[in-house]
Amino acid sequence: MDNIMNSPAYKAAREKAQELLKKLTLTEKIGQLSQFGNSIYSSEEKIYEDHFREGKVGSFLTLRGAEKTNKIQSDLLEMQRTPIPAIFADDVIHGYRTTFPTPIAQSCSWDPELTERCDAAAAKEAYAAGLKWTFGPMVDIARDPRWGRIMEGFGEDTYLCSQFAAAAVRGFQDNGKTPLLACMKHYAAYGACVGGRDYNTADVSLETLHEVYLPPFKAGIDAGAATVMSAFNDVNGVPATANHYLLTDVLRGQFGFKGFVVSDAGAVGELIAHGFAADPKDAVCKAFSAGVDMIMAGDMFNDNIPALLEEGKLKMEDIDRSVLPILTLKYLTGLFEEPYVDPDGEKIFFCEEHLALAREAGTQCAVLLENNGILPLKNVKSIALTGPLTHPCGQAHLLGGWCGIADPSRTVTIEDGLRAAIPDANINVIPGATFVHMDKEDIDAIASDAAGSDVIIAVVGEENGMAGEAGSKADLDLCGSQEDLILALCDTGRPVICLVSAGRPLVLSKIKDKVAALLNIWQPGTEAGNAVADLLTGKVNPSGHLTTTFPYTVGQVPIYYNHPSTGRPASGRWRFESKYMDCPIEPLYPFGYGLSYTSFEYSEISLSSDSIAADGELKVSLTVTNTGDQDGAAVVQLYVRDLVASRVRPVKELKGFKKVFLEKGASTRVVISLPAANLAFVNSDLEWVVEPGQFKLWIADNSADERFEFDFEVT
Ligand code: GLC
């Protein structure tokens, strides 16, 4: 389906919007630029009535349910001089009521089409509740797991994140009858916040900005993303929310974006705290002039734009230019034809199809980090289940962040999943483990109780509030006494299967060699227990691969695979090279890493040529064979290195991947195409260039796998 921003319907909607725009008063125009939260409607003094009558409200966020949105919509349409329906938005990041794995987890499936399906399902549920707009996908590249919002994005790699960004937009928007406008956020370089501290400064070169942080936004816009959200952080000293270069020169000028920009919550007013605006009126002038169209949230535009027009600091055509795409998208989403939703539609929440998809997704996103053969479980008679995430509170934590709309009581717990999957096993759930300090005797009591079972399963990690917005952490170890608990469980001599559920990579160095198996389940969502049970019993073979580096220690951070070589690349051969003296050079688990219950062999690897023109294409073919005794999926990864260029290039860059499912013993031929255009990088003149020269190429199972290395050149 053609993306909605290029569709015939878009053109028709724009014409209707142009007609309507001519009839609006200034107040009504500015009202379309103003989004409000719950407060305006729930206030005793009914402030909304004046706002509605004067047409000062164009959009709402985080109002939930068909009943409520219908009521507000009818009040609004009844009271306004010019009836213009409001557009309702919310943070539908990984599901609406049915919760899917977090985006960082979804990216570890290396299956963008899975994300497209999850977001299409989420859009159907959100649409049924009266929403026409989601504040997603979040496509911030994150190279620092101290930053809690790494949970909301698709990892550290620009190429992979761009594929998922486009897939998410297609899922949300190209949904036929239930289009949910996507919102590419947070524009831009929010993940580059210094120290991984949320809201902090991002200071990146323009080359890095264009090469690393912006492409996922471009990919989403090329897929038809209707809106963009400006970020809280400043970028090289100019706040993103008042950054004319980013919001106008690049976003509209270079990317051809035709939708509208909404500020992040409060980001316009925060220009004052940034020391970039003197007062609210100055902040409004700077944000609006830079390219922010709609304010989230409140009256700052309503209160200040009229005076700015009076003073000649803003012009009416600026206002019209911002109102037009908002009205266009209200027509495009059908709001004028049908401003209400049928509350009956909410029966789609938690429908069998969506639950089945959530379960499937949960199995595809988990990453098997260690396994001494204990998994998949076989003929287990008794299991001890412990860890802070087995507590009933785990039902919320296993959903991850941004689940204000979800229903934690619907989460299938790990215990429920195991009991359903292995009804004959005796499952001894041992309470008492927490995320905070535990006394030694409490730990020992749990361990001695657990020792009575064949196998111990420990579910550890983070509470959902420990990642996500403002979830910055200086320490990435398992918090509280979780590490001590695991070590005590290992000391019983019983095999310990450690399930890690968190919104970010955690430091697992001290336990990785002690446990029998280590499965990073992320935050799997509503079907958590069933998905985990499918994996532990081998009904589904883990196929997840990491899209974010797991550090050996937090001191290595920021650590990511696609880094430049430096003049002293770390080899461990001598002192004088770029490394730390007090920890290993390599991370604990590299980008792209993931184990399986089976084994795969790559063979008969061939390149279509050993040289291609700058506008040519290289095809890499190989045979993948499932040489183990269980069906499973392999993720074949293609990395390149540009050996000499006009700017230093990363030692490795992902430029292609293919996930292939193979029954045990089966083989298949895989072809990965590498257009030379994908070798382009941003030169010092900020141009995307493909430079001739020698390249290395790897077909690999992860970014550290160099078994299959090839040379080719670009002429
Ligand atoms: C928050 C977040 C943003 C979210 C918005 C609305 O502060 O930064 O991602 O969409 O507010 O909830």
pLDDT of residue 442: 98
Give the other-Cβ count within 10 Å of 696's Cβ: 16
* Architecture field, domain 362-556: 3-Layer(aba) Sandwich (3.40)
**Which residue owns the Cα nearest ligand 1 atom 3?**
264
- Establish whether residue 91 lines the binding site of ligand 1, counting it when its CB lies within 6 angstroms of any ligand atom: yes
**Which residue owns the Cα nearest ligand 1 atom 8?**
264
What is the 3-class SS of 24-61, one letter each residue? CCHHHHHHHCEEECCHHHHCCCCCHHHHHHHCCCCEEE
CA distance 184 to 137: 6
> For a substitution probing ligand 1, which of 91, 139, 183, 198 has the most ligand atoms within 8 Å of its CB?
91
Strands 59-61 and 34-36: parallel
Q: What are phi and psi of 382, to 5 degrees?
A: -145, 140
- Establish whether residue 140 lines the binding site of ligand 1, counting it when its CB lies within 6 angstroms of any ligand atom: no
Residue intervals of the chain classified under CATH 3.40.50.1700 are 362-556
- Which CATH code, of 3.90.25.10, 2.60.40.10, 3.30.70.270, 3.30.365.10, is assigned to 600-714? 2.60.40.10
Ligand 1 centre from 265 Cα, in Å?
Answer: 6
Ligand 1 centre from 601 Cα, in Å?
Answer: 44
Question: What is the mean pLDDT, run by run of 10 residues, along the chain of 715 residues?
Answer: 84 97 98 92 80 96 94 96 97 98 98 98 97 98 98 98 98 89 98 98 98 98 98 98 98 98 98 98 98 98 98 98 98 97 97 98 98 97 97 91 94 97 97 97 98 98 97 98 98 98 98 98 98 98 98 98 98 96 98 98 98 97 98 98 98 98 98 98 98 98 98 98
- Establish whether residue 469 lines the binding site of ligand 1, counting it when its CB lies within 6 angstroms of any ligand atom: yes
Token digits for 163? 């594929």
**Which residue owns the Cα nearest ligand 1 atom 6?**
265
> Which atom of ligand 1 lies at the shortest distance from residue 183's CA?
10
pLDDT digits (tens, 9 = 90+) for 270-321: 999 999 999 999 999 999 999 999 999 999 999 999 999 999 999 999 999 9
Q: Which residues pair with 368 in a beta bridge?
A: 519, 595
Residue intervals of the chain classified under CATH 3.20.20.300 are 28-344
Ligand 1 centre from 59 Cα, in Å?
Answer: 15
Question: Would the pTM count as exceeding 0.75?
Answer: yes
> For a substitution probing ligand 1, which of 294, 469, 472 has the most ligand atoms within 8 Å of its CB?
469
Residue intervals of the chain classified under CATH 2.60.40.10 are 600-714
pLDDT of residue 2: 66
pLDDT of residue 1: 55
Residues carrying an active site annotation: 264
pLDDT of residue 61: 96
* DSSP tally for the chain: helices H, then strands E: 21, 26
Q: Assess if CATH 3.40.630.40 describes domain 28-344.
A: no
pLDDT of residue 46: 76
